Amino acid sequence: MVLSRILWTVAAIAAVSAPMTAQTRGVVHGQKPGRLVIHNAIIVDGSGAPARGPVDIVVENGLITNIINLDPVSLRGGGRGRGGAAGADVQIDATGKYVLPGLINAHAHLQSTRGQNMSLGGYEYNLKLWLASGITSVREVGSESDTEIVNNRERLAKAEIVGPRIFAYPMLGNVKTPAEARARVQYLKKLGVDGIKILGVERDIMTAMEDEARKVGLRVAHHVGVEETNAWDDIKLGTTSIEHWYGIPDAAIPDGRQHFPSDYNYLNETDRFRWAGRLWREADPKLLDSVLTSMVRANVAWVPTMDIYEASRDLQRAQNQPWFREYLHPSLENYFKPDPANHGSYFIGWSSTDEAYWKENYRLWMAALRDFERKGGVIGCGDDAGFIYEMYGFGLIREMELHQEAGFQPLKIIQHCTSNNAKILGQEDHLGRIKVGYTADLIVVDGNPLENIKVLYAGGTNAIRDGKEVRTLGSEWIIKDGIPYNGPQLMREVKAIVDKARMKQ
C-alpha cells in the first residue's frame, strides 16, 4: 500500500515536471558512458537524511557532477537549471525507483576456493555476486594471499575485471614476537595495503603492531578472539574497528573471564560457538555501558556482522535460503556441510537449547548496538560471507535486515552500509554518499528499501504491483566509478558459473 502510494506520487510529479521521454537509453553494461543521467530518481543519500526527489543525477568522468531537483517547488523557484536529462549521452530512467549510494561491505573475504580442493573457479563468482547485490566497495579483511589481493585491487580499479572496489586489509598473521609484528606491518605498508586485520593476538604483539600501524598510517580491524585482549585494549591502543562482537561483552564481565565448563576447549569449534551463545548474558550492564562509552570516546567503530552467526540461533533458516537453489556454487555448498575441518561448519549435534541461548544472545547484542549508536558510536555493516551458510552479497542484505530487527530504522541502516562504512575506511570525503563531487557509486533499486529491505536482494523479491504479484529486479543498475552494470545480467552470469560447476559434479 505504502509503496504503491509513493509510486503514484512520483509518477504524478514526474508527469508535470519532466517533459522529456522517461526511458532508459544508450546504456551498455560494463561500458563507461560519456554523460550519464539517472532521471527522475528518489534518492536516499547515505547521510541518514530522509528520501527526496525526484531528481536527475548527472555523472561525468566517474563523478557525480550535478543533482537537479525536479519537484514542483524547486522548479517554480528557479527552473531545472543547466543540464539534466536533456543533455545526456546516456540515460537511466529511475521513475518509481530509489537511488542509493553503492553499498560498502566493511567485513568481507574475497574467495576463489573453499577448503580442500573446493574451487570456485576463480574470483568471478564472488565478485559478481557482490556487485549484483549493490556492493561497490569492499573492505577485504583477510585474503587468500597478500600479493593477490593487492593485484586484484589494481585490476578492479582499472575495470579490467568486473566487481567492487577493494580496500585490502591483510591479516597480521602468524607473528610470534613484537619485533616480528613491526616487521610485518612494514612489509605490508611497502606492499601498498590499505589497512591490517588482526585476529587472536596477545597483548605485547597487539601493542607493537598498533604502534607501528599508526606510525605508517594504516588502519586496524580487530576480530577479537576469546583471548588475552578485549575491547579495553582496543580503546587504549586506538583500533579503528572491532569486528563481530567478541571482546565487547568480555570486557564487561566482572570476573574478567566467562564462566566456561571445565572441559571447554577453544579450538573445538562446537564448544567455541556453543559457549559464545552464552556470553552476552554474563556482561554486567553497568560495566558494558562504560565499555561502550569508552569505545565512542576512543573512536573505535563496530562492524557487528550479525548475519554470520545467524545459523546459531536458527539452523534450519540458514540451511534453506531461497537463493541456494539457483546460485549456490557446489564448492560453497560442500564447504557449508557440517565438518570439524572447515572453519564455521560446526553444527554437529546443534540443539534447540543452543538456539534458545543464541536468541537471547542476539537480543542483548542488539540492545548493546542500539546503546552504542545512541552514545554516538559508528556502526558499520559487513557480511563475512563464505562461511556458515552466508553467500556473498546476500549476506550483506541479510545483515541490513538484522540491523532493522535490532531496532534501527532503514535510513540509519543505509547510513551504516554507506557513509559510516566510508568513515571506517577513511574515505568519507569521496565515497558513501550521493553528493556532488563524490565518486559515482550508485545503485538504482527496483522498489523502496525504506519500506522493504528485501528489495535489495540480488534477484529481487516478490511484490504486489497493480494488483499483480511480480518479481522485482533487485539493484537493477549498479554504477561503480561511473560505469553502469545491469544487476539481472550479472545474476545470469553468476547462474551460468553455478550451472557449469554443477554439471561437472
Nearer to Zn ion, 384 or 401 (CB): 384
Nearer to Zn ion, 234 or 384 (CB): 384
Beta strands in 256-407 (DSSP E): 301-303
Do 113 and 119 touch, CB atoms closer than 8 A? yes
150-182 burial, b at 16+ Cβ within 10 Å, e below that, comes to: bebbeebeebeebbbbbbbbbbbeebeebebbb
Q: How far is the CB of 21 from Zn ion (least distance, A)?
A: 47
Which residues inside 59-98 make contact with Zn ion, applying CB under 5 A? none
346-362 burial, b at 16+ Cβ within 10 Å, e below that, comes to: bbeebeeebbebbeebb
Q: How far is the CB of 455 from Zn ion (least distance, A)?
A: 27
Short-list 28, 21, 62, CA closest to 484: 28
Q: How far is the CB of 107 from Zn ion (least distance, A)?
A: 6
Q: Which three cell numbers stand for residue 401?
A: 535486515
Q: Which three cell numbers stand for residue 163?
A: 566487481
Nearer to Zn ion, 384 or 481 (CB): 384
Q: Does 233 bind Zn ion (CB under 5 A)?
A: no
Residue nearest to Zn ion (CB): 384
Nearer to Zn ion, 107 or 403 (CB): 107
- For residue 70, the SS3 value is coil
Q: Which three cell numbers stand for residue 389?
A: 551458510
Q: How far is the CB of 181 from Zn ion (least distance, A)?
A: 20
Number of residues lying near Zn ion (CB under 5 A):
1
- When binding is defined by CB under 5 A, the residue of 269, 384, 390, 399 that contacts Zn ion is 384
Q: How far is the CB of 259 from Zn ion (least distance, A)?
A: 27
CA distance 204 to 281: 29
Nearer to Zn ion, 92 or 201 (CB): 201
Which residues inside 98-117 make contact with Zn ion, applying CB under 5 A? none
Do 30 and 485 touch, CB atoms closer than 8 A? yes
Pick the stretch among 38-46, 73-81, 186-194, 377-385 that binds Zn ion (CB under 5 A): 377-385
| Contact letters for Zn ion, residues 332-371 (x by CB under 5 A) | ----------------------------------------
Pick the stretch among 295-303, 369-377, 381-389, 415-423 that binds Zn ion (CB under 5 A): 381-389
Q: How far is the CB of 105 from Zn ion (least distance, A)?
A: 11
Q: Which three cell numbers stand for residue 139?
A: 573492505
DSSP secondary structure, 388-444, as one string: TTPPTTHHHHHHHHHHHHTT--HHHHHHIIIIIHHHHHT-TTTSSS--TTSB--EEE
In what order do the strands lie in the sheet containing 241-243? 195-199, 219-223, 241-243, 301-303
Phi, psi for residue 227 in degrees, rounded to 5: -155, -160
Q: How far is the CB of 452 from Zn ion (least distance, A)?
A: 28
Nearer to Zn ion, 393 or 487 (CB): 393
Nearer to Zn ion, 141 or 445 (CB): 141
CA distance 393 to 385: 8
What is the 8-class DSSP label of residue 466? T
Q: How far is the CB of 198 from Zn ion (least distance, A)?
A: 12
Pick the stretch among 22-30, 89-97, 380-388, 483-491 that binds Zn ion (CB under 5 A): 380-388
Query: Phi/psi class of residue 412: alpha, beta or left (left: φ > 0; alpha: ψ in -120 to 50)?
Result: alpha
Q: How far is the CB of 143 from Zn ion (least distance, A)?
A: 11
Nearer to Zn ion, 137 or 439 (CB): 137
For 234, other C-beta atoms within 10 Å of its C-beta total 28
Nearer to Zn ion, 354 or 384 (CB): 384
Q: How far is the CB of 67 from Zn ion (least distance, A)?
A: 36
Q: Which three cell numbers stand for residue 208?
A: 607493537
Nearer to Zn ion, 68 or 120 (CB): 120
Q: How far is the CB of 382 from Zn ion (least distance, A)?
A: 8
Pick the stretch among 2-10, 74-82, 376-384, 409-417 that binds Zn ion (CB under 5 A): 376-384
Short-list 340, 341, 322, 324, CA closest to 332: 324
Q: Does 399 bind Zn ion (CB under 5 A)?
A: no
Q: How far is the CB of 384 from Zn ion (least distance, A)?
A: 4
Q: How far is the CB of 197 from Zn ion (least distance, A)?
A: 8
Pick the stretch among 361-369, 384-392, 430-438, 490-498 that binds Zn ion (CB under 5 A): 384-392
Pick the stretch among 272-280, 341-349, 357-365, 378-386 that binds Zn ion (CB under 5 A): 378-386
Nearer to Zn ion, 198 or 237 (CB): 198
Q: Does 383 bind Zn ion (CB under 5 A)?
A: no
Which residues inside 160-189 make contact with Zn ion, applying CB under 5 A? none
Nearer to Zn ion, 139 or 165 (CB): 139
Q: Which three cell numbers stand for residue 306?
A: 550479525
* List of residues 6+ apart from 286 with CB closer than 8 A: none
C-alpha distances in Å from residue 284, one per residue of 255, 281, 296, 347, 500: 10, 8, 18, 29, 52
Nearer to Zn ion, 332 or 444 (CB): 332
Helix axes 178-191, 203-216, angle to 10 degrees: 30
The binding site for Zn ion (CB under 5 A) comprises: 384
